[in-house]
Amino acid sequence: MTSNMTNAMASIRHPPTASGLNYNPCAPRNLWNRAMNLLVALFALMAVLPLVVVIGYVLYKGGGAITPAVFTELPPAPGLSEPMGMGNAIIGTAMVTGGAALVAVPVGVGGGIYLAEVARKGSFAQSIRFGVNVLAGVPSIICGLFIYALVVNTRVLWGESFSAMAGSLALAVLMLPTIVKTTDEGLKLVPQELRMGSLGIGASRFVTITRVVAPAAVSPIATGVVLAIARAAGETAPLIFTALFSPFWPDWSSGGGLLAPTATMSVQIYNFGIMPFEPQVQLAWAASFILVVMILAANLLARWLARFSAS
Amino acid sequence: MFTHKKPPWTEKLVDRAFIHMTSVLASVVSLTVLGIFFTVGFQAVFQGDVSSLLPWHQDSIWQGIAAWNDEETFGVRWGAVPHFGLGFLANSSWNPVRNDYGALTPIYGTLMTSALALLLAVPLGVGTAVFLTEDFLPQKLRAVIGFIVELLAAIPSVVLGLWAVAMLNRFLAVFTPLYAHLGWLPFFSTEPGGPNLAMASLILVVMLLPIITAVSRDSLNQVPMELRQGAYAVGATRWTSIFQVLIPAAISGIVGGAMLALGRALGETMAVTMIIGNSTNLSTSWFSPSSTIASLLANQFGEADDIQVSALYYAALVLMILTFLVNVCAQVIVKRLALKYD
Amino acid sequence: MTPSIADAIISCDNVTVNYGAFAAVRNVFLDIPRHKVTAFIGPSGCGKSTVLRCFNRMNDLIESFSMKGKVLFNGKDLYDPRVDPVEVRRRIGMVFQKPNPFPKTIYENIAFGARIHGFRGDMDELVETSLRRAAVWDECKDKLQESGLSLSGGQQQRLCIARAIAVEPEVILMDEPCSALDPISTLKVEETLHALKKNFTIVIVTHNMQQAVRVSDMTAFYNAVDAEGSDGMMGYLAEYNETKEIFNNPKSEDTKEYVTGRFG
């Protein structure tokens, strides 16, 4: 045994000199390391490049198409080049996204509170967590089909089929899991002592949650909500069979515009972007510009909001 | 000094009402998931709208089901699932004139675009994540790059699609030499001349990169510092410790992130629809127009009626089951492989 | 103050370490004798771990780290720009405060280091001898294919010692190796140290003065003073001598107070 031991050790023992400490740039391991360093630097470059190229291109193409008329006029009829506007789509995006937020934020925050504060464990809570994860993975176009089958096709909304409200519902389905998750995670970050302190002085759970815990988690929740709304504003697939599209101003007489087919910027990009008419393509770029700027702004806002929770 | 004040009965009521309300709101999520599966399933099996489920509806399907065989009288209009059965999955024709529908082409397109995109996006994304967790650049610069990659995830798919359409000709110029020199390979066997499957895959890569990078970066950051030190202390080089210690320790997150990305790729709609050409002819070539299930839905649902609608819902059901399985697998893998190290 | 050491394997020549603007330890002169156990003792924040981590360039992993002075290993400056830190760490191994086995099998934990250095001998034998020398063979010989994380804390730490000696370094640095262990595991690790002294030079940082007395031949006492100009404490080497001198006949008043347990 002893001789075996010394043999095994001797075979990797180096002479106790320090000369071998120098960096050998041609050693295979060092060549390999340098090659890999270069490779991942290249990968990172390739990952960043599309964003820079896409944003640059959108800002360049879309920025050039932005005029005051874009905000105040309607789009031209195919083949014409006047008027050059998409005021209806801007209003439509605000209406549809706003409606979606009105539905999804209360439901999502309420559901998040339930998961984080009322029932952290237990099979019901687990099944809901599972549901949140499944819903987050449902393709966005399926949300559109779902609302189409449930709302548009059955005309349950006061006999109307395609409508801004249906579009809002489809987007709300899409936003819901994000909001539940961020609320759940935001509330979990609140230190347990805060809850103990409040419950310990005899406050009810309602008071503890609404007056103590939720205010402490408002920054991460707001961050999640802002990001969810920004994402929803750019969604197209759930809207093409629900809010549909319209070349006109919202029909205020039908449910304040909520019960009629409604143009949105994202659907406009899809519809106009593949048209053979230059004015329409221009408007698609203009809409892309507005959406991208809005989303960049929302992300910066979210980072700014997140800073509050850090301090 | 203090007199014990009994809380008013309203306080208890408000408390209980609040707790119940949150549980109701939470169940909305699960109900929505069930509702989606049920609705899509229903539309795949029956024609007509979901309100015919109500017993008092004039075309209520319950009457028809009661008189199973008497389709003429009671008008149960069976949809695509009973019509085409499982053969739907293996039939490559999509013919609205003869009402003969099969989803093989879009299923192939969905799987092929996603697989190609994943093949490119996983090494790129994991490599970027490694780059962002190692000390190649100062911490501040790395945070900026990380933020930029996250922003990429926020760009709407339809904007990426519009950009891809504008860039199509430049990409075709890149694809043409592949066809010219490697045209004997079945994947490169047609001349690239317009929207095609390869373009759709490339756009998917751009969409998947931020997901894979973000998830991999998080899981690499969670590997304890001590493990890296341990590897360095036995004389491991940077890349030995990355490949042999850090990535194996973070593998659950990385695989989970890749699965999550796969789920996204399978269901991605707008950018793909705008650039894949929406052809329902089966072709092995990556340079031919093709379609995915999601693009088929986006493209045809608006003009479809009767059995075609039901066939589209059948395809949607297939897509849902695919993404559902992928997402469940992702969750299981993350739990299974999670590193037990504290 | 510094004893004369005939055969020094590591020498610090006026070493001063900063983390960003924060000065961690200054002006250290120190010779570590070959094939002996040297203990670093002193209150928290006195820079003993910092000095230890200079010996195998572990501080390179910290972005804000900067060092002045020289660390000589067999007469060669470890911070010479031509030196490969990977090679340094192969010659000068390290065991950490918290056991950190890789999430691999016990066998692979040991084989990992040898394999990356191109070991061509009998791997089974190397694994066995390494585990034997770290006195953990009997406890894990039947579960070599189980995860290293399945062992107890004390066993994990001895596994980490086995992992360090499997690459046959000349020096093993130990950064409070027993602080996370129970007394019995601590005793076993200390026994291991005695056996390892014949083949290796060991430098151990410890908070436990009895441990220093039990295991070490030489002891360096570090102390900290309020740093002028920056907030926080700045460490320095207060006294260095044979262990029995430090504990029985300390030269400085601070050392005396520390080893008799009056502060720290």
Q: Give the model confidence (pLDDT) of C178-233 as tens digits.
A: 888 888 888 888 888 888 888 899 999 998 888 999 999 999 999 888 766 556 67
Cβ under 8 Å to A: B residues 56-85: none
Any domain includes B93: no
Q: Which helix (H) or strand (E) holds B11?
A: helix B9-45
- Which of the residue ranges A173-177, A256-260, B202-206 would you say has the lowest mean pLDDT? A256-260
Which among C61, C87, C117 has the least Cβ separation from residue B232?
C61
- Which of the residue ranges B58-72, B126-140, B225-239, C82-96 would you say has the lowest mean pLDDT? B58-72
Q: Is B28 in Cβ contact with A205 (below 8 Å)? A: no
Query: How does residue B3 score in pLDDT terms, banded at 50, 70 and 90?
Result: low
- B244–chain C Cβ distance below 8 A for any pair: yes
In the prediction, which pLDDT does B277 show?
Answer: 86
Which among B226, B234, B341 has the least Cβ separation from residue C112?
B234
User: Which chain C residues are within 8 Å of B139, Cβ to Cβ?
Assistant: 63
| Residue at a domain's end among B57, B85, B113 | B85
In the prediction, which pLDDT does A290 show?
Answer: 92
Using the predicted structure, report yes or no on whether residue A17 has a pLDDT greater than 50. no
Using the predicted structure, report yes or no on whether residue A8 has a pLDDT greater than 70. no
Any domain includes B59: yes
In the prediction, which pLDDT does A105 show?
Answer: 94
- Verify that B29 and B63 share a domain, yes or no: yes
Averaged over A156-166, what is the pLDDT? 80
Q: How far apart are CA B338 and CA B37, in angstroms?
A: 30
- Any idea which residue has 């010219």 for tokens? B180
Query: How does residue B72 score in pLDDT terms, banded at 50, 70 and 90?
Result: low
User: How many domains does chain B fold into?
Assistant: 2
In the prediction, which pLDDT does A36 show?
Answer: 92
- Verify that B306 and B282 share a domain, yes or no: yes
- C39–chain B Cβ distance below 8 A for any pair: no
Whole-angstrom CA distances from B234 to B277, C72, C88 are 55, 20, 10
In the prediction, which pLDDT does A291 show?
Answer: 92
Q: Is A12 in Cβ contact with C114 (below 8 Å)? A: yes
Averaged over A82-96, what is the pLDDT? 86
| Residue at a domain's end among B34, B57, B85 | B85
Averaged over C90-94, what is the pLDDT? 91
In the prediction, which pLDDT does A16 show?
Answer: 45
Q: What percent of chain B has pLDDT over 90?
A: 35
In the prediction, which pLDDT does B316 show?
Answer: 94
Any domain includes B19: yes
Using the predicted structure, report yes or no on whether residue B124 has a pLDDT greater than 70. yes
User: Which chain B residues are within 8 Å of C63, Cβ to Cβ?
Assistant: 135, 138-139
Closest CA to C220 of C239, C205, C235: C239
- Verify that B105 and B213 share a domain, yes or no: yes
Q: How far apart are CA A8 and CA C121, in angstroms?
A: 6
- Which of the residue ranges A69-78, B112-121, C114-123 would you say has the lowest mean pLDDT? A69-78
Averaged over B181-199, what is the pLDDT? 84
Using the predicted structure, report yes or no on whether residue A12 has a pLDDT greater than 60. no
Boundaries of domain holding B147 = 101-337
Q: How far apart are CA A205 and CA A202, in angstroms?
A: 9
- Verify that B140 and B199 share a domain, yes or no: yes
Three-class DSSP labels, chain C: CCCCCCCEEEEEEEEEEEECCEEEEEEEEEEEECCCEEEEECCCCCCHHHHHHHHCCHHHHCCCEEEEEEEEECCEECCCCCECHHHHHHHEEEECCCCCCCCCEHHHHHHHHHHHCCCCCCHHHHHHHHHHHCCCHHHHHHHCCCEHHHCCHHHHHHHHHHHHHHCCCCEEEEECCCCCCCHHHHHHHHHHHHHHCCCCEEEEECCCHHHHHHHCCEEEEEEEEECCCCCCEEEEEEEEEEHHHHHHCCCCHHHHHHHCCCCC
Cβ under 8 Å to B: C residues 85-124: 86-87, 89-91, 93-96, 98, 100-104, 112-113, 116-117
**Which of B226, B234, B246, B340 should be substituted to probe chain C, the one whose Cβ sees the most C Cβ atoms within 10 Å?**
B234
Query: How does residue C94 score in pLDDT terms, banded at 50, 70 and 90?
Result: very high
Any domain includes B116: yes
* Cβ-based contacts under 8 A for chains A and C: 56
Q: How far apart are CA B285 and CA B175, in angstroms?
A: 12
Mean pLDDT value across chain C: 87
- Verify that B81 and B179 share a domain, yes or no: no
- Verify that B28 and B106 share a domain, yes or no: no
pLDDT digits (tens, 9 = 90+) for B47-56: 877 777 777 7
Which among A48, A118, A227 has the least Cβ separation from residue B22?
A118
| Residue at a domain's end among B31, B54, B85 | B85
The helix/strand/coil state of B268 is coil
Q: Is C126 in Cβ contact with A21 (below 8 Å)? A: no
Averaged over A180-190, what is the pLDDT? 89
pLDDT digits (tens, 9 = 90+) for A232-281: 998 999 999 888 888 877 777 776 677 788 889 999 899 888 888 888 88
- Verify that B61 and B179 share a domain, yes or no: no
pLDDT digits (tens, 9 = 90+) for C16-55: 998 887 888 888 898 999 888 999 998 888 888 999 999 9
In the prediction, which pLDDT does A278 show?
Answer: 82
Q: What percent of chain C has pLDDT over 90?
A: 25
- C56–chain B Cβ distance below 8 A for any pair: yes
Task: State the ipTM, two decimals.
Answer: 0.87
* Cβ-based contacts under 8 A for chains B and C: 76
| Rounded (10°) CA dihedral B38, B43, B45, B51 | 80
| Domains annotated on chain C, with CATH | 8-98+170-259 (3.40.50.300)
Q: List the subunits that have 3+ CB pairs under 8 angstroms with B.
A: A, C
- Verify that B237 and B207 share a domain, yes or no: yes
- Nearest Cα of chain B lies from the Cα of A17 at a distance, in angstroms, of 17
Any domain includes B175: yes
Q: Is A8 in Cβ contact with C87 (below 8 Å)? A: no
Q: Which helix (H) or strand (E) holds C203?
A: strand C201-205
Closest CA to A195 of A219, A179, A211: A211
- Nearest Cα of chain B lies from the Cα of C257 at a distance, in angstroms, of 34
Any domain includes B310: yes
- What residue in C sits closest to A24 (Cα-Cα)? C84
- Which of the residue ranges B114-118, C127-131, C200-204, C255-259 would you say has the lowest mean pLDDT? C255-259
In the prediction, which pLDDT does A11 show?
Answer: 42
Q: Is C96 in Cβ contact with B226 (below 8 Å)? A: yes
Using the predicted structure, report yes or no on whether residue A167 has a pLDDT greater than 60. yes
Using the predicted structure, report yes or no on whether residue A18 has a pLDDT greater than 70. no
Averaged over A278-299, what is the pLDDT? 89
Averaged over B88-94, what is the pLDDT? 86
pLDDT digits (tens, 9 = 90+) for C102-129: 988 999 999 998 888 888 889 999 999 9
Q: Is C132 in Cβ contact with A16 (below 8 Å)? A: no
- Verify that B202 and B280 share a domain, yes or no: yes
Any domain includes B263: yes
| Domains annotated on chain A, with CATH | 68-310 (1.10.3720.10)
- C146–chain B Cβ distance below 8 A for any pair: no
Query: How does residue A4 score in pLDDT terms, banded at 50, 70 and 90?
Result: very low
Whole-angstrom CA distances from A232 to A100, A265, A287, B171, C150 are 8, 12, 15, 30, 47
Q: How far apart are CA A266 and CA A263, in angstroms?
A: 9
User: Which chain A residues are within 8 Å of B151, Cβ to Cβ?
Assistant: 51, 55, 296, 299
Q: Look up the CATH number of the domain holding residue B316.
A: 1.10.3720.10
- Verify that B38 and B107 share a domain, yes or no: no
- What residue in B sits closest to C159 (Cα-Cα)? B230
Any domain includes B92: no
Mean pLDDT value across chain A: 84
Averaged over A16-24, what is the pLDDT? 65
